[in-house]
Each structure stands twice: as C-alpha cells, then as structure tokens.
C-alpha cells in the first residue's frame, strides 16, 4: 500500500486539528474513557455532541445513519487526531469503534435506523459486556443466560472488566441462549439499556486508583426481542466481528506518540540538575521510542487500508495489538526513568510533571498485554491466520 494520504485527507486532518486545538483545554484528564467526576463527563458529552453535529463522530458511516460516507482511512485519521489531542473518549471505542461497525455488518435495517443515528450524534454511549469472572480468555465459556419469555429475553448473570459501564447508556451484550449447544454455538448478541431494572454497575478500582473498570450484574433484566441482532445463537460470529474492529489500535499508537512528543519537549527544558536532553542516552532512548511508535502507526494504517478495501484484517490487527501493548510498557518505563524523582508524583501532586500522566501510565502499562485479548491469544491468531501454522 501507499502510506501517503491524499491531499483531501490531509486537509481533513488539518481541519480536525484546528477544531481540537480550540476545543480541548490543556491538561484535560478525561481521555481514554476515564472520567473521575461529573464535570469531566458533562464536558465529554458536550464535546461528542459537537462532533456529532458536524457528522465527525462516525465519518465513515453512511449519511443515512449520521456519518459522511467517508472511507475507513478518514475514520482512522479522526481517531488518530482525537487520541493525539487527548480528546475525551466518550465511549468512542465501544460506540463508534466496536458496536456501530458490528451492527452495520449484522443488524437488520430497522435496528440500524433505530440505534446508529444516536451513536453517530454522540447521544448514546456504549460499553461492551463480554468478559465474565470465570471465563478468562475462553470467552465462549460464558455463563450469563438469556431466556426467551414472550416478546422479551430475561437475562441473568454477570460481566466484569466492563470499561465505561458507569457512564454508558447502552451495552452490547453476549449471553447464552441455548444451554445444550456446544459453547461456541448457543450465544446471542443483544443491545441492553444500562438503566433497565435489574442492571447493577459496581466499580472495580485499579492500581492507579482510577475508575476504568466495572462489574455489571443482571438480575431478571428484560430485554426486548427486537434488541437481539445477528440472529439467535449466532452471537459468536457477531463477537468475532466485534473483536476484529476492536483491535485496529490507531488510538493507542497516537496516544503513545503524543506522550513521546511530550517527553521530548520536557527533556529539552531546563530542570534542577540540568537538561535531560543533553545526555546522549536520553536522546537515544527517545529516538528508539519514536521509531517503534512510527512502526506501530504504519501497522495501524495498513489495518485501516485493508478495512477500507472491505477485508477483515484480523491477524494484522493482532500484530498491532501485541506491538502496542509492549510499546506502552516501554514508553511508561522510559518516561519514568527520564523524569527521575518527578516520576514518583501522582496526578494532582505539587510538582508533578506532564500532569502526572507518566506515573499513571507506568502503573497501568502491565495490563496492556492482557486487556482486550491477551498477547498470547494474539500471537496464536498471527501464527494460525497470518503464517498458516497448525494449532498447537
């Protein structure tokens, strides 16, 4: 592929950059689907609706559903710029990056008309109810049940590691609809209202004291049968589509590039003890990070290019996932080392540098090879689908 973007796409990037420079305040801390207070959530809601008014939240979607009919390349550029400017995510990954594209593939026309415009406008935010406490990487062993009762399904069970559930309006949920079928066969996909009676969200604090994750309980939750999509007992195929969309990784690449650029700027400034930039070892470490980030960026560009051609880049996306998980660890470790004693200061502490972001990144980085599909699982995908190797 030609990694150079067209003049029209570069003009689109410039227009986005101008808008984001004007809209995102310095030091905004509500990015990456992390919102610690109502003020951050309110700002994020307003921001996503501004994007929606311009049809910029989902530009690659058909105009009928609130998009602009652009290609996946323009969607990728949008995601890249939003992440680089640390714009509030507002459920972007799970709404526009995962649920919407999956519904475009598997939902009925009626469901698309009902759900997609409110996603594209920024009105409805989604979360993803896949993982369960007893399932681990074996997603198909899920135990949450959905039993048909008239015009509804009644759902009972539990999900965990549900990012964004505490602020989401709806969830894309997988539940078992046939208890007797083989584990990959008896699963169905639903859209569930998060304010439905019987839905309880409980936060799961992490090592950085951030409210990123949640566990969600379902107790006799009634979901209209019209909210099942992709066909009953066909949810595994819906899920595999969803996971392919989830792993394009451009936002992670762009976030890492921004952190590296921030570190370069900080290292060039004078601090007690001198300028870190004057040490060749610091420059070499930052150069290595910049090269690895650019490598990840090109993998993400190829993934988007394949999507724009109508292909499903599953092993290419897995390559990007593995690469970015390790790069996240390297950026955090290198950044903390360059900051020195400053690297021990948490966000909000007096003297914290770069808003304390590196400290948080350092605490969270080791989860990268696990979250969203472990690196071992991704390597199996690369080996089997990319290299044609047999199952071990």
At 82-118, the pLDDT tens digits run 999 988 877 787 898 889 989 999 999 999 999 999 9
Concatenated DSSP letters of 194-235: TTSTTEEEEEE--TT----EEEEEEEEEEEEGGGEES-TT-H
Q: What is the pTM of this model?
A: 0.86
Closest by Cα among 102, 73, 355 to 235: 102
Q: Would you state the structure tokens that stand for residue 176, as one six-digit string?
A: 């078992």
Please determine, for residue 247, whether its predicted confidence score (pLDDT) is greater than 80.
no
Instruction: Please give the mean pLDDT across all residues of the chain.
Output: 90
With beta carbons less than 8 A apart as the criterion, state whether 187 and 235 touch.
Answer: yes
Kindly tell me the burial class for residue 295, based on how many C-beta atoms sit within 10 Å of its own C-beta (0-12, 13-18, 19 or more). middle
Q: Do the Cβ atoms of 170 and 199 come closer than 8 Å?
A: no
Per-residue pLDDT of 363-389, as tens digits, reads 989 888 988 778 998 999 899 999 999
Residues 6+ apart with CB under 8 A from 379: 318, 322
Q: What is the pLDDT averaged over residues 31-54? A: 80
Q: Provide the pairing of β-strand 187-193 with 228-229.
A: antiparallel
Q: Which of 81, 246, 292, 316 is catalytic?
A: 246
Domains and CATH numbers, the chain: 7-90 (1.10.540.10), 128-233 (2.40.110.10), 247-386 (1.20.140.10)
Question: Each residue of 300-344: pLDDT tens digit?
Answer: 988 888 878 878 787 888 899 999 999 999 999 999 999 999 999
Q: What is the pLDDT of residues 112-156, one digit of tens each?
A: 999 999 999 999 999 999 999 988 778 888 999 999 999 999 999
- Cα 235 to Cα 32, 148, 242, 313, 375: the distances in Å are 27, 15, 10, 20, 24
Residue 271's DSSP bridge partners are 274
The mean pLDDT value for 11-16 works out to 94
Strand partners, 127: 171
- Strands, E assignment, 63-161: 126-129, 145-149, 152-159
Q: What is the 3-state secondary structure (H, E, C) of 330-386?
A: HHHHHHHHHHHHHHHCCCCCCCCHHHHHHHHHHHHHHHCCCCCCCHHHHHHHHHHHH
For residue 217, the cross-strand partners are: 158, 200
H/E segment holding residue 189:
strand 187-193
Burial of 14 per CB tally in 10 Å (0-12, 13-18, 19+): exposed
- Predicted confidence (pLDDT) at residue 248 exceeds the cutoff of 70: no
Contact 175/155 with Cβ under 8 angstroms? Answer: yes
Residue 308, pLDDT score: 80
Residues in the chain: 392
Q: Tell me how far CA of residue 78 lies from CA of 47, 104, 284, 360, in angstroms.
A: 14, 19, 31, 25
Structure tokens at 47: 């921001």
Alpha carbon distance 32, 219 (integer Å): 29
Q: Write out the H or E segment, with its range, that includes residue 188.
A: strand 187-193
Q: Is pLDDT larger for residue 177 or for residue 303?
A: 177
Alpha carbons 87 and 246: distance in angstroms, whole number: 19
In the residue annotation, 81 being an active-site residue is answered as no
C-alpha 186/C-alpha 188 separation (Å) is 7
pLDDT tens-place string over residues 141-153 = 899 999 999 999 9
CA 327/CA 361 separation, integer angstroms: 12
Adjacent-strand bridge partners of 222: 154
């Amino acid at each position: 592929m030609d990694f150079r973007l067209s003049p029209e796409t570069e003009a689109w990037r410039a227009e986005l950059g101008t808008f984001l420079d004007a809209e995102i305040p310095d030091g905004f801390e509500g990015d990456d689907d992390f919102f610690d207070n109502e003020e951050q959530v309110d700002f994020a809601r307003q921001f996503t609706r501004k994007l929606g008014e311009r049809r910029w939240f989902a530009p690659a979607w058909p105009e009928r559903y609130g998009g602009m009919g652009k290609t996946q390349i323009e969607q990728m550029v949008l995601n890249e710029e939003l992440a680089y400017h640390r714009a509030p995510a507002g459920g972007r990954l799970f709404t526009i990056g995962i649920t919407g594209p999956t519904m475009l593939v598997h939902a009925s026309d009626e469901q698309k008309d009902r759900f997609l415009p409110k996603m594209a406008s920024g009105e409805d935010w989604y979360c993803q109810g896949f993982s369960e406490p007893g399932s681990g990487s074996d997603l198909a062993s899920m135990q949450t049940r959905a039993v048909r009762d008239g015009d509804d399904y009644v759902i009972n069970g539990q999900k965990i590691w549900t990012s964004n559930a505490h602020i989401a309006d709806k969830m894309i949920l997988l539940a078992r609809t046939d208890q007797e079928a083989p584990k990959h066969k008896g699963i169905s996909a639903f859209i569930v209202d998060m304010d439905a009676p019987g839905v309880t969200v409980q936060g799961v604090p992490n090592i950085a004291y951030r409210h990123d994750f949640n566990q969600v309980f379902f107790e006799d939750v009634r979901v209209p049968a019209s909210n099942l999509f992709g066909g009953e007992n066909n949810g595994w195929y819906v899920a595999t589509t969803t996971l392919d969309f989830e792993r394009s990784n451009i936002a992670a690449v762009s976030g890492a590039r921004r952190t590296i650029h921030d570190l370069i700027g900080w290292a060039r400034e004078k601090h007690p003890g001198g300028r870190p930039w004057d040490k060749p070892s610091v420059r070499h470490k930052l150069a290595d990070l910049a090269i690895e980030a650019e490598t990840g960026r090109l993998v993400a560009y190829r993934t988007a290019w394949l999507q724009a051609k109508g292909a499903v880049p599953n092993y290419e996306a897995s390559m990007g996932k593995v690469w970015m998980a390790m790069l996240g660890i390297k950026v955090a470790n290198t950044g903390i080392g360059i900051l020195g004693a400053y690297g021990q200061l948490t966000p909000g502490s007096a003297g914290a540098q770069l808003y304390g972001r590196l400290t948080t990144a350092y605490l969270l980085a080791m989860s990268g090879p696990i979250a969203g599909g472990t690196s071992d699982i991704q390597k199996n995908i690369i080996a089997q689908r990319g290299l044609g190797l047999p199952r071990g």
